[in-house]
Structure formats: structure tokens, C-alpha cells
Structure 1
Amino acid sequence: MIDYMKPKEIVTELDKYIVGQDKAKRAVAIALRNRWRRQAVTDELREEILPNNIIMIGPTGVGKTEIARRLANLAGAPFIKVEATKFTEVGYVGRDVESMIRDLLNYSVSMVEKEYEDAVWEKAEAAAEERILSKLFPIQKSGLQNPEEEERMEKTREKLRNMYKKGQFEDKIIEIDIKEPKVNAGISIMGPLGGGFDETADFLSETMSNLFGSKKKQRRLSVKDARRFLIQEEAEKLVDKNKVYQEAISRAENAGIIFLDEIDKIAASSGGHGADVSRQGVQRDLLPVVEGSTVNTKYGVVKTDHILFIAAGAFHMSKPSDLIPELQGRFPIRVELDSLTTEDFVRILTHPQNALLKQYQALLAAEGINLTITDDALQAIAEKATDVNEKTENIGARRLHTIMTRLLDTVMFEAPDIEKEIIINAEEVHKALDDIAANDDLSRYIL
């Protein structure tokens, strides 16, 4: 059972990267912790406890996607981010909604495979070491050697092993058999991607690969390069694939999280004709997956009843109530994210661990340049971002990227052939940005 962090700990971790949006952080923290709580419930009740799916509503650039990215790192569980606009109604060319479950399971299989391989890595290293030593110094045991000769050969082998461990054979060339990448023998599986055909195509392609591919090819490599291939090959031999697939399916079903971005783009606006009809078709296809259904994959059948769905959208042109009622009912928790203020922009520039200012300072430090932006300059940058967002499109914190790029354009171009100490104050910010920010047409295209 995956041991999730406590809700307060999750929020504390999210605070390191995301400014504000406390309501959204609390909602996802509770939802994530509930995954662990459900596993601790008795078997009879566990199946009845369904996840409370979440819709995050807020303008672009306020942190919806960033919350999803950071949550993926904290979850320790299968997690994928998909865009609702990528899906098409069954029967049309494009990806069907069930493909996101297959993507989730593929990610889960990769996770579990890595865990299982890590568990047997030492054994795989030992087996690879034996194979390399056999290639370097083959010793033929005929069975006719006397005990003294066998002991002498064993001592020689141990000396060679010690030399190998000290790295004295790293550059020696050996010949090893390496599996060639699977090919489909020139047979291309063509067809529409909708209606689950992509899964059928994958299955047919893999079948052809197994029939015609997977041949071994002899290659000459240094010991250093060969080791990587051999350890991986030995680790794969030691891992029971059936156990991996069973564990991956269980983990995807009970701990899987899907972040469904841009859900507002499939909400129908008033009128209900043309493109809106197609959008409603995607919603209808999405409904059984979110409600709970079974999806066939090449690894087995996946139940979607307990997968957590977190949806997000700006809802500029539509409202959550424009989604079909059944789909609205499957997202009981709605969280509104706040628009960013000037004070938020100042904090975004400096506070997070991956703050934009820290990124630019790190880039210039590679050139031996120390960049300092004064507090009054940070305030001026934040005010410019707020001003341009109000006058043109409000793109939230993403506006800071365009402004910082414009402000530091000369420094980034001239480095390293400039002075090693760069200090930017408010006056320089105004000098670089005032003319553009004041001109609505220019700011629309440049900032």
C-alpha cells in the first residue's frame, strides 16, 4: 500500500513551488490522502468508497497545471496529464477517451517494472559481471582437471574479478549478443485511431514483432558500455512480467490519478449545433470512464471505478454548468482559483524553489555573471505584468516570462563579454519596458 503524505505535508510541499491558491491545494491534498485512507478500510466498504473528483476553475497562468505537475511528483502513484481537446467522439478520426486509461496503465507498468528491476539490480550486476569475465577470460572446464588445477583457476578468476572491480578492464573490447529493437517485419498496421483501434493496432504490431523481430545481434563494445546492456538484460530475466502486470493494473485501478486539462473546451456553448455536438459526444464518451467501467488493454482489463480524476479549465467562454449534467455530477468538488495580484507576482519572482529570478541567476552564473534585481525593480516588473494583463489578454504568471525575457535580452545576448556584476533597479526596468507597455499595440505583440 502506498503511504501518502498527510494533507498538511502535501500543502507544505506545494507551497514551495506555487504561490497562493490555498483552496485548490487543500482540495487536492485531501483527495490524495483519501487514496491511502480508502486502502485502510475493510474490504466490504472499500469498494463502495468512490473518489471525489475535482474541477479546478480559474484563468490561465494561475497555477492549475503547475499543481498537477507537482502533485505527480508527490503522488508516488500512476499519474498522467491529458488534454480533453485531444479526444474525439467514437467513430471519428482521433484518440478515443479510453486511450487515457491505457496511457495510465503504461505509466503504471513502467513504474512497477523499475521498482522490480531495482529490487534485483544487485543480482543482475553480479550475473553481468560473470558474463563479462567469461568474455574477457574464458575458462573451459573439461571436468578432467585435478583439484589443485581447479583451485588455481579459481584463484586466477578472483584476481581478475578484483582487477575488474577496480576498473582496470573498462576500455577492453568484448563481443556480446544484444537484442535488436523489435520490428514489425515491414508490415504497417493502418487504420483510424478512434473506437479503440489504436489498441488493436498495437496488439497486431506487437504480434508481428514477436514473430519476426527480437533477434540478437553481435556487437563489439567496451566493457564499460557492455555492462549497461548486460545488467538491464539480466534484470529483465529476473523479473516476473506477469506479476508486474498484475501489480500495475492494481495500482492503476486503486491509486491512479488522471489530470484532465482544458475540460472547458469540450463544454458546449449555447446553441448546441456544429462543433458543440461533437464536444457533447466526447463528454458522453468520457462519462462511463469517469463513472466507472472496464477498459481492455494489452496487459489486461482495467476497472476505472476508483481512478481519481482532476479536471481543470479557464471557463472563459463557457461555465461548468455547460457540461452535460451527468458529467457535472461526477465532479462533486469545485475549486475556484484566484486571479493573481501584483503582490503575487512579486512572490512568484522570488519565493518558489524554481522561481524565475533564480533560474536567470543560475543561467548567468554559468557565464560567471552575478545578477541582482533590486526590490524596487521586482515591484516594477510585477506592476508591468499586472498592467499588461489588464490591457491585453490575462495570461497570469506566464506574463512574467515575456517581461523578464524582454528585460534581460541585452544581458543574455552580450554575456559573457560584459561586467561580472549586473544590478538592475527600477529605473532600468522602466527604461526597458515603459515605451512598449504604454503602447497597446506593441505590448499586445511583444509582451
Structure 2
Amino acid sequence: MSDQDKDLEQEIIEKEQTDDAPDTNKDEKDGYEDICYICRRPESKAGKMIKIPNNICICRDCMQKTFDSMSGSGFNLGDFNPANMGFGNMPNISMINLSDLQGMLPKSQQIKKKKPKEKKEKPALDIHAIPAPHKIKASLDEYIVGQDYAKKVMSVAVYNHYKRVASEANDDIEIEKSNMLMVGPTGSGKTYMVRTLAKLLDVPLAITDATSLTEAGYIGDDIESVVSKLLAAADNDIEKAERGIIFIDEIDKIAKKRNTNQRDVSGESVQQGMLKLLEGADVEVPVGASSKNAMVPMVTVNTRNILFICGGAFPDLDNIIKERLNQESSMGFKAALKDQYDEDENILQKVTVEDIRTFGMIPEFIGRLPILFSLEALTEDMLVRILKEPRNAILKQYQKLLEMDEVKLEFEDEALHAIAKKAKEKKVGARALRAIIEEFMLDIMYEIPKDDNIGKVIITKEYIEKTGGPVIMMRGCPELEEKSVI
């Protein structure tokens, strides 16, 4: 190595020692880690960074490799001066300005620094601040109609999980995770229940879909991408993400494929890859991307205290349950009939672990989801309550829209039952309600702004069934209070 190379390396070493000293002028208000400009590793992985001009950081390994490459090739650092290389006299040619590259790392790939571990008298999550199960269920009742058993199971499971997170593991008894598997028909409120629960607890929540997950090395999202989404929801704060909730929807889509001759890269192999996530392990996840192959920083997240909730509609699971229940039927005058369960809408509530295994979920995967429960099928009365009772009910949303035009909107009880009956026929759960209301509210929302004299609109059963029209009353009409409406 030449004397000039040694002098430059000595200057960098002295600068690195200076960086190790406390710097009172350093701005750490953002609290994000430094990322190596070359290998994209964060400071927690690569060690102390070497800062060169223009706020660019390089780790020690990359800097050493750079010196080794230059020394082995006989390159003289003194010749790297642009003035000596003759570029200044050549038109339209200039050296790269590194200051233009310092902002290339987006914020979604920046990692927050971990707080130094200190002895604290109280844990990060106060066990006394966790609401009791009955308070959690009472809060869910304000947003979700029915499903009392499902709300009770989720309230107790979440309460026990965060007691486990908050408790100090000083004794010999280690509390296991209470991951959940919910089964319910489409439109019964599985995703909405989890989203409401996370909002009430004020914890980071990641809602992901299992349909895009594939085995590592195949086109699709890696299994670790579910944790990457939780990290993004926690603003790249690893400690906050390690106490969050991950809801994996459409979990039935990763069941074992039957009668297939090709490799099952999106079925059983995905279940096997998720075992370590559900049980709790240190996994390396990409920051700001869904694939490990992307040139993004990698961080280690411990999933031991992450609550996993899996949900799915499990189509044709009712046939498996009926087949199991009908095995007990026999012949005779008082024997149980084989078609006694055909009209049972809540057949999914009789689900067992054996039924889920027959559907295509492997035993190891089911064993890591110890809490199994199902949601009720929505009846016509429940659909009517969904229309008007929740805090953000659909009817209240449209009433607020018309209030901005100073018009009152009211619905007759018979009209609500007509809407619920139409939604029941579509067999898509509560999702059909808004589509039906949008259909007959289109003309009303279009015509009302034309006339400033309209004071009230009453939706009738005849209008829903397309045998009549809505009742429109003008301002100052003495008959405004004659009809009994909701």
C-alpha cells in the first residue's frame, strides 16, 4: 500500500474514533438507524458506521473491501482527483456528486433505533392498563352486532395474551401463546372484528392475505412478508411491532391441494413455513419490501409476543361437518335423518379440529392455533340491526350525507326488513347491504340537490320492492311528524 493510501486510511480511522466520542451537536430527533450505502445493512447488523462527506454512511466491512480492491489492483488514490483525470476539460462529462444520492433511501426502508435496555421498575406494557375482557367486549358491542360468543372468545384470548406479554418471566411457569383460528361465512365480520379490536387496544395491526403467499424461491410473497407488513404498520419500530397483532385472512386458501401431481408451493409448504412464525422465533424480514431478494435493509424480529389471528370462510367445510355428523344416523322409525343438517345455517359452529384437518390443514399448523371458534351466520333480524345500531351504521352514514344538504333521511321498519331480505338472498353477508342501498339511493342523491325546498325523504317498503316511490316532504309541511319511522 502506498504512503498516500496509508494516509487516507489513517484519516478515516481518526474520523471513526471521533465519531465514537459523544457528539452534542448530532441531531437524533428522528431516531432512525444509519444504513450502509453499499450493502444496505443497518447499523444494528453491520456495526458502527463510517461517515464520509455529504452524510453518506459506509460500514467497516465495505470500507475494508474497498481498500483491499484498490490495493490489489495497484490503483493510486491520488489519481482519483477529477482535475488530474482530465474530466474538467471534456464537454458534457462530470463526476457523480454523492450529495445527490443521499436521499435515495425512502422512509419506508428506514429503521428506527432500538432503545437501550435499561433496568426499569415497570414493564413496557402495564398489566393494569389492559382492559378487562368484559370491557373489551362492551367496546366491540358498539361497533359489531351479534357474534356474542366470538367476541367473548376474542376478548379473553387477547386479555390473556397481553397479560403474558406484560408479565415478567421470572418463575418456572411459562404461558404459551393464544393464537386464534376463526371460521365464519363470508360477510360475517371476521376482518372488521379484528380491525376494531386493534383500534380499541391501540396496537399495530397488519392485515394480510394468505392467497399471495408461496414457498421461498417461487413467484409471490415470502412467508416473512406478513411480519414485514406489521413492521411497516409500527412505523419500522421493532419493539412496537413485537407486541402487535397479525391477521391472516383467507387462511383456507393454503390448505393442501388434493389430486395434484405438481409441487404444492402455495399450500402445505406455506403451512410448514409458517410454523416458526406462529410459535415464536427470530426471523429476518425485509424493510419496505415483500421479498428478501430486494436490495433493502434486513432486520430481525422476534415473533414470540406477536398475536396471530387466522380467519377464513372455509368453503365446503359444511359438507365435511355434515358427513361426520351423519355417520351417527341409522335406520328405523326414530332414527336420525341424514338431511337434518341441510337447512342448518350455523352448521359451522359444530366444527372440530378433525374437520379442519380433513379440509387440508396439517396437524402441526392447527396445533399452533389452540383457540378455534366460528361466527354465526347473519339472520334477517341481525342484518336489520347492522343497518341501524352500530356507531358507524350504514344508515347513519347516508343520513349524515343528506344533513349536509339540510335534508332529513328516515327509513320505515318495513323498508329495513325488505333490504335485509334482499341481502339475505345474495348470500354474501353484510357486504350486500351497502350495494343494495347504493342502488336505490342513487336517484335520491342525484335529485335532492336540485330542489332546495325538500325537507325530508322517507324510504318506504314499496320503493325498495320497486312498486312505489319514496315519500318526499317539502319544508314547512305540517305532515312531517305523522309517519312513525326510525
Contact 2:165 2:305 in 1 (8 A): no
| Greater RCO, 1 or 2 (C-alpha within 8 Å, sep 6+) | 1
Contact 1:361 1:371 in 2 (8 A): yes
Contact 2:214 2:265 in 1 (8 A): no
Change (3 A) 1:25 1:410: same
User: What is aligned with 2:434?
Assistant: 401
Contact 1:260 1:311 in 2 (8 A): yes
Alpha-carbon shift at residue 101 of structure 1 (Å): 1.5
User: What is aligned with 1:425?
Assistant: 460
* DSSP-derived class of the 2:372 partner: strand
* DSSP-derived class of the 2:304 partner: coil
Change (3 A) 1:381 1:432: farther
User: What is aligned with 1:379?
Assistant: 417
Does 2:319 align with 1:320? no
Aligned residue pairs total 291
* DSSP-derived class of the 2:450 partner: coil
CA displacement 1:213-252 (0-9 Å, x = unmatched): xxxxxxxxxxxxxxxxxxxxxxxxxxxxxxxxxxx43333
Contact 1:289 1:304 in 2 (8 A): yes
CA distance in 2, matches of 1:433, 1:327: 55
Unmatched tracts of structure 2, length 5 or more: 1-124, 286-296, 318-354, 470-486
User: What is aligned with 2:304?
Assistant: 305
Alignment match of 1:98 (pick from 221, 224, 228): 224
1:423 partner letter: I
Structure with larger Rg? 2
Alignment match of 1:263 (pick from 213, 233, 251): 251
TM-score by length of 1: 0.61
Contact 1:368 1:416 in 2 (8 A): no
Unmatched tracts of structure 1, length 5 or more: 111-247, 435-447
Change (3 A) 1:105 1:426: same
Does 2:396 align with 1:358? yes
2:276 partner letter: P
Alignment match of 1:8 (pick from 134, 138, 141): 134
User: What is aligned with 1:222?
Assistant: none
CA distance in 2, matches of 1:316, 1:417: 47
* DSSP-derived class of the 1:431 partner: coil
CA displacement 1:151-172 (0-9 Å, x = unmatched): xxxxxxxxxxxxxxxxxxxxxx
Change (3 A) 1:83 1:97: same
* DSSP-derived class of the 1:408 partner: helix
* DSSP-derived class of the 1:24 partner: helix
Contact 2:161 2:178 in 1 (8 A): no
RMSD: 2.3
Alignment match of 1:252 (pick from 231, 241, 246): 241
Change (3 A) 1:12 1:302: same
Considering fraction of residues, name the structure with more helix: 1
Alpha-carbon shift at residue 273 of structure 1 (Å): 4.2
CA distance in 2, matches of 1:29, 1:62: 18
Q: Mapping of 1:66-81 within 5 angstroms?
A: 66-81=192-207
Q: Mapping of 1:37-436 within 5 angstroms?
A: 37-45=163-171, 48-109=174-235, 248-253=237-242, 255-274=243-262, 276-297=264-285, 298=297, 300-317=299-316, 320-321=356-357, 322-386=360-424, 388-389=425-426, 394-418=427-451, 419-431=454-466
CA distance in 1, matches of 2:173, 2:449: 62
TM-score by length of 2: 0.56
* DSSP-derived class of the 2:186 partner: coil
CA distance in 2, matches of 1:91, 1:299: 17
* DSSP-derived class of the 1:415 partner: helix
CA displacement 1:243-283 (0-9 Å, x = unmatched): xxxxx433333x22111111011112432544755311211
* DSSP-derived class of the 2:310 partner: strand
Over the matched positions of the two proteins, sequence identity in percent amounts to 42
Contact 1:50 1:306 in 2 (8 A): no
Alpha-carbon shift at residue 428 of structure 1 (Å): 1.8
Contact 1:407 1:433 in 2 (8 A): no
* DSSP-derived class of the 1:278 partner: coil
Alignment match of 1:31 (pick from 149, 152, 157): 157
CA distance in 2, matches of 1:84, 1:316: 15
